[in-house]
Structure formats: C-alpha cells, structure tokens
Amino acid sequence: MSSTTADASLALPELSGGPAPRQAAAARSFPAALDTPAPPRLWRTGLLAAGAWALVGLLTLYWPNKVVGFSDWAFTSELGAALLAVALALATVALSAGHGRVGQRLRPAGQWLVAVPLLLALWELLTAKLALLPSPFFAPPQSLIDVAYEDWSRLGLSTLHSLRLLANGFVLGALVGFVTGVWIGWSRIAGYWVHPLLRFLGPVPASALLPLAFFFAPSSYAAAVFLIALASFFPVAVLTWSGVAGVNKSYYDVARTVGASEWFLVLRVAIPAALPQVFVGLFMALGASFSTLVTAEMMGVKAGLGWYLQWAQGWAAYANMYAALLVMAVLCSGLITLLFTVRDRALSWQKGTVKW
Amino acid sequence: MVDTATARPQAEAARRGAQIEVRNVSHWFKVPSGVLQVLDGVDLQVAPGEFVALLGPSGCGKSTLLRLVAGLEPATAGEITQDGEPITRPDPSRIVVFQDPTLYPWRTVRDNVALGPQAQGRLKERQARVDDALRLVGLAEFAQAFPHQLSGGMAQRVALARALVNDPQLLVLDEPLGKLDSLTRLQMQSELVSLWQREGFSALLVTHDVEEALFLAQRVIVFSDRPARIAAELHVDLPYPRHRGDPRLTELRHQALRHLGLDASW
C-alpha cells in the first residue's frame, strides 16, 4: 500500500485543489501596477473609469453638435445621459472598493473601462462635435441609437433571418462533414476514393460557386444553405479525417483485446480520440460560414444582415450600416464563444484543471 | 497491496488458467526491403495457472510472439492453441497489458477499467466487478480521476485493473513495468505476484529484465537474437514470495546472462 499512498500524495494536490488554479489565474490578470495587493480600500482604476465615462457624457451633452446642412443628430442628449449613468454606476462600484460580485467581475476589465469611453469621446468629437470626418459616411455614436430606435424591427428580423440561414447551413455542413471525415478516416475504400476528391474540390471557396448555385437551386435560400453547408463541410471533414487517422493505434489494440466490435472502435475509440481536432474543424467552419453567409445574402438572398448592409448602402443610410456591422460582430463573436464553451465542456478531460 | 480478505468466493471457482500451446511458430514481417523473419520455429507451452517469462534482447521478436498469442495478428506459420482451440482473433479471456498503460484520456479511471465489460455489452451486470478490480489495485478513491492526473505507477495499475475486470484466463504482459521508475517497479513486481496467486490466471510475461523474469516467473524462456528462437529454459524452483537476495536467484541470473551472451560482464 505504501507506494499507493505516496502516489496519492503526489496526485492529490491536483485533485483536491480544483478551483485554486483558476483563482490564481484570475489574480494574475489584474493589472498589477494599478491594483495594490491585499484588500484595497478603494478601486482606483474604477474611479478613473467613472471619471472617463462622466467626461464623455458631459462632452456629449454640453458641446453643441456642429450643424452640417441637415437636421441635428437625434438622441444626443439621451446618449449623454446614458453615458453619465454608466459613470454613476461605475463610481458606485468603485467606491464600494469593488468587493461585490459585480465589482469582482469588472475589476479585470478595469483598463478597458477607461479606454472605451476615451475612444467614444474621440469618435464623438470627430463626427458630431467637430464634423472632421465627412458627415454621411461617418456617423456619430448617437446615430446607432437612432437606428436601433427607428429600425429595430427590420434589423431584428434581418438578424433572425441570418441566424436561421446560418444555423441551417452550418449544422447541415458540419454533420455531413463529420460523418464524411469519420468515414474516410476509417474505411480504406472511402479513403481511397473520397479523400482525393475532397483534397481537389474542398479548397475551392464556396462563394466561387455562388452563380452556379443560384442557377441550379430551386430557390436562392436553398442555394445559400447549400453554399454555407459546403463552406463548413470542408474544414470539418478534413480535420475529422485527420483526427481519426491520427488516433494512437494501440488504443485500438487495447479495445480489441477486451472484445470490442468494429462499431465500438469507431464510436467509443476513434471519435472521442478525434474530438479535439473536430472542434478545430468546427471553429474554422464557423468562420468560413460567416463569410459565405454575408456574400450569399448580398448576392441573392433577399433577407438577412448581408442584405441589410446592401440595402442601407443603397439608401446612403450609413448609420444603419454601422449598426448592422455591430450586430454582426456581436453575433459572430457570440457564436464562436458559444462553440468554445461547448468545446471546453466536451474536452474537460484535456485540461489541467477538471471541473467536477 | 492486494487485499486477500475481500476475495470473492465465485472468483476461485469460475477461474482456471488457460493452457496455451505454441507449436512450431515462425513469423515474418513485410518490410520495404522484402521480408524480415522475427520468429523461428518457436515451441512453447504454458500450463494452466503457470507464470512463464520470455526473456531476450531488445527487438528480438518476443513482443511479436505475445501479439500472436493474444490473437492480434495471425502467425505466418505454425499453430497456437488455447485449451486445444486454435487462436484466431482477440478474445477477452486473453488480455494484454502493454508497456504503455494506453488509458483513454477522455475517460475517468473507472470508465477506463469498465472498458471490457462495456465493449462486451455486459456493463450493467459487471458494475460490482469494476469496483472490485479498482479496489484490487488500490485505486478505489481515484475512480473519478482522469488519466492525466495519475502517476506512471498508478496509470499502470489502472491498466492492470482494466485487464483483471475481464477475469482473464491468460494475462499477457508486454513489459508492463518497463517504463516505471525502479522503486515503483520493484513494488509492482510483488503486486503482480499477489494478483497472479489470488486470481489464478496463467501469465505470459515479456521482459528484458533478467531479475524481473526470475523474481516473477516459474519458468523463464531465454530467446536468441532475431529471428527469435528458444535458446534456453530455466526453471525457477523457488516458492513465493521470493526474496531478491536469494543465492539461488543469483545463480540463475548468472545462467540467464550466460545464455544471453553477457557472461563476460559477470
């Protein structure tokens, strides 16, 4: 038993100390120079941030907009008030020394909370206040609020259309890609016949097939689903294949000696072992599907954020364009974050700290 | 290590070691330059419940012989039988423990041990046996740990538990302790002996460690360089538990080294 206990004492810190490394990591990401160690009496970066937000708020409110030939920017005072409200909230958190739950979450982002209002101030100055940037092409921040207020239904509907199209195409492509990858990774015959085709046709950008797809498909929507599926199919198929092909051969020996069937080898050995690679494929597929989505919506699909961009540009409604781009950024980065969350959950065995 | 007090009564009755017979087996590998003979007319018997060690220089082909006995590959020539039946494919009655533990990193320790019952579709009725096997190798409290949290010795114990859970009639050991540090190794050798005595399986061990072979096995077969043929056979006529300082072991060690062509170093 003696070596077991010795082994145990070696491994136990990892087992029992689950949350500790995470705390340490969080502590490390604090800006060391700005936050004093030990319980600080006051969150100084927070106060600085509150000041910066107040500054941009006051600037928005009390510096008159420069008149450039058409009616004044709407929502200027609302924006100013909102910025001041943020300043007030931050000041409250900072004065409570950032100890509350909100404070704890905000603290690591302290420097960003200072930088963002400064950038906003610069933007506000260059557009609404000084009109240094040519006016219809560069819209001030408050115009985004205007768009959200005036055109939220069209923008929201476009977002939903994009999401639906993306979901249909991506899920279809990823599923077919995954199955194809496993198939050519496992079966010698499939590998021989399908793999060269994949290597030859896969790298063709899906958007290059756009004219062809719109011509052949029964509807532009079906064509877009097909193209997005194609764009996500390729990276998932290739990486699943390489994951399956790269599985340690002795994993199979182990399973075979204990009586595993061929299906067991595929489902319980090859696929779990290939999962890390599959997730890399899914990540790449998501990126490819975004760009194909927007292209398809700009070229033929009469709905979605890509269409909205085109439409806004046609009406010289540049503020609407910026709003749509903002929504797109939130959507895409949100989806990628979601994918990574799923991955971290599925592959928790891979990481140093396991969540119990 | 092994807690004999928890011995399950049905284990003694259900298990009897397999009888293995290797008759005139030769084996060739395809290599880019043609074929390479690795085994040359090997004849070998393992009696039920016997512990036999195969000793030979690195790369001589003894591990290949184990793969043939396990049924992972067919022999080019000759015949291998288990209790009179020819061995044609892997079977849970003959379990291999490899040099690397080859645990599945995505499974917990317990799920790794449960691999065999799950693959055979008997997971439900074998739950107790899985816990049993974990206890047998002293890792019950690590059931929910993942392989990357284990030390080398613990990982190899999990591999042993994963083998034992199938109640094998033959345990095929392919240098299972080869990568462990020397202290863990000595201890695991004693554990292996207790497990073998307790469970009653036949054991076929490949090693290039002369001391290990002599400490564990009742019979040590010494192989020549590739293509492997049997150079000598040593009977280790000592009771268990053995003592490493036993003068008889020293004497046998000298003999084994002489057969391996290392007499000059004695």
d(CA B140, CA B131): 7
Asked if B193 and B240 count as a contact pair (C-beta separation under 8 A), the reply is: yes
Q: How many CB pairs under 8 A join A and B?
A: 99
Instruction: State the pLDDT at residue B108.
Output: 92
d(CA A209, CA A216): 11
pLDDT surpasses 60 at B251: yes
In a domain, A92, yes or no: yes
Share of residues in chain B with pLDDT > 70 (%): 94
Indicate if A320 and A196 belong to the same structural domain.
Answer: yes
- Find the mean pLDDT for residues B88-102: 88
Question: Any CB–CB contact under 8 A between A259 and chain B?
Answer: yes
In a domain, A31, yes or no: no
Q: Which of A1, A14, A253 sits opposite B72 (nearest CB)?
A: A253
Of A110, A140, A170, the one marking the end of a domain is: A140
Q: Is A264 helix (H, G, I), strand (E, B) or coil?
A: helix
List chain B residues with CB under 8 Å of A255: 115, 119
Indicate if A346 and A246 belong to the same structural domain.
Answer: yes
Q: Residue length, chain B? A: 266
- Say if the Cβ atoms of A261 and B119 lie within 8 Å: yes
In a domain, A327, yes or no: yes
Instruction: State the pLDDT at residue B15.
Output: 56
Q: Which residue of A has its CA nearest to B121?
A: A260
Question: Any CB–CB contact under 8 A between A257 and chain B?
Answer: yes
- pLDDT tens-digit series, residues B7-47: 444 444 345 788 888 888 888 888 888 888 888 888 888 88
Residues in chain A predicted with pLDDT less than 50, given as ranges, are 1-33, 36, 353-356
- Of B158, B237, B172, which Cα lies nearest the Cα of B206? B172
Range with the largest mean pLDDT of A116-125, B173-182, B242-251: A116-125
Question: Any CB–CB contact under 8 A between A252 and chain B?
Answer: no
Residue A185 Cα, gap to closest chain B Cα (Å): 19
- Say if the Cβ atoms of A3 and B105 lie within 8 Å: no
pLDDT surpasses 80 at B74: yes
Question: Any CB–CB contact under 8 A between A212 and chain B?
Answer: no
List chain B residues with CB under 8 Å of A2: 187
Q: In what order do the strands lie in the sheet with B34-46?
A: B34-46, B20-31, B77-82, B85-86
Q: Do strands B170-174 and B77-82 pair parallel, antiparallel, or not at all (unpaired)?
A: unpaired
d(CA B240, CA B238): 7
Indicate if A119 and A164 belong to the same structural domain.
Answer: no
- Say if the Cβ atoms of A258 and B95 lie within 8 Å: yes
CATH number at residue A201: 1.10.3720.10
Cβ atoms within 10 Å, residue B92: 20
Indicate if A75 and A135 belong to the same structural domain.
Answer: yes
In a domain, A27, yes or no: no
Share of residues in chain B with pLDDT > 90 (%): 16
- Of B219, B209, B218, which Cα lies nearest the Cα of B188? B209
List chain A residues with CB under 8 Å of B146: 349, 354
Domain range enclosing A172: 152-350
- Say if the Cβ atoms of A260 and B139 lie within 8 Å: no
- Say if the Cβ atoms of A251 and B102 lie within 8 Å: yes
Indicate if A162 and A120 belong to the same structural domain.
Answer: no
Question: Any CB–CB contact under 8 A between B139 and chain A?
Answer: yes
Of A105, A140, A175, the one marking the end of a domain is: A140
Asked if A198 and A238 count as a contact pair (C-beta separation under 8 A), the reply is: yes
Asked if B119 and A260 count as a contact pair (C-beta separation under 8 A), the reply is: yes
Residue B170 Cα, gap to closest chain A Cα (Å): 12
- Say if the Cβ atoms of B115 and A258 lie within 8 Å: yes
d(CA A260, CA B266): 47
d(CA B113, CA A167): 39
Instruction: State the pLDDT at residue A38.
Output: 52
Token pair for residue A8?
């145990």
Indicate if A322 and A193 belong to the same structural domain.
Answer: yes
- Of A65, A72, A55, A61, which Cα lies nearest the Cα of A130? A65
In a domain, A221, yes or no: yes
- pLDDT tens-digit series, residues B104-145: 999 999 999 999 999 988 888 888 989 988 988 888 899 999
Instruction: State the pLDDT at residue A4.
Output: 42
pLDDT surpasses 90 at B5: no
In a domain, A108, yes or no: yes
List chain B residues with CB under 8 Å of A354: 146, 149
Specify the number of domains making up chain A.
2
d(CA A344, CA B1): 37
Indicate if A262 and A313 belong to the same structural domain.
Answer: yes
Residue A351 Cα, gap to closest chain B Cα (Å): 9
Token pair for residue B79?
């015949």
Indicate if A99 and A222 belong to the same structural domain.
Answer: no
Write the DSSP string, A303-321: SSHHHHHHHHHHTT-HHHH
Q: What angle do CA B148, B154, B160 make, to 5 degrees?
A: 115
**Residues A327/A330/A336/A342 CA torsion (nearest 10 deg):** -110
Range with the largest mean pLDDT of A159-163, B80-84, B195-199: A159-163
d(CA A113, CA A48): 9
Number of alpha carbons in the 13 Å side-chain half-sphere of residue A351? 13
Asked if A239 and A278 count as a contact pair (C-beta separation under 8 A), the reply is: yes
Instruction: State the pLDDT at residue B229.
Output: 81
- Of A174, A167, A181, which Cα lies nearest the Cα of A224? A167
Domains and CATH numbers, chain B: 4-265 (3.40.50.300)
Instruction: Supply the ipTM of this predicted assembly.
Output: 0.81
Of A140, A160, A184, the one marking the end of a domain is: A140
- Say if the Cβ atoms of A257 and B72 lie within 8 Å: yes
Indicate if A54 and A183 belong to the same structural domain.
Answer: no
Indicate if A81 and A178 belong to the same structural domain.
Answer: no
Question: Any CB–CB contact under 8 A between A258 and chain B?
Answer: yes
Q: Which residue of B has its CA nearest to A271?
A: B106
Question: Any CB–CB contact under 8 A between B120 and chain A?
Answer: yes
In a domain, A15, yes or no: no
Question: Any CB–CB contact under 8 A between B145 and chain A?
Answer: yes
Average pLDDT over chain B, rounded to an integer: 85
Indicate if A202 and A243 belong to the same structural domain.
Answer: yes
Instruction: Provide the angle, in degrees to the nearest 10, between the axes of the packed helices A220-245 and A188-201.
Output: 130
List chain A residues with CB under 8 Å of B153: 3, 7
Question: Any CB–CB contact under 8 A between B155 and chain A?
Answer: no
Indicate if A134 and A159 belong to the same structural domain.
Answer: no
Instruction: State the pLDDT at residue B191.
Output: 85
Q: Which of A10, A253, A258 sits opposite B119 (nearest CB)?
A: A258
In a domain, A28, yes or no: no
- pLDDT tens-digit series, residues B211-245: 888 899 999 988 888 788 888 888 888 888 888 88
- Of A19, A355, A349, A274, which Cα lies nearest the Cα of B149? A349
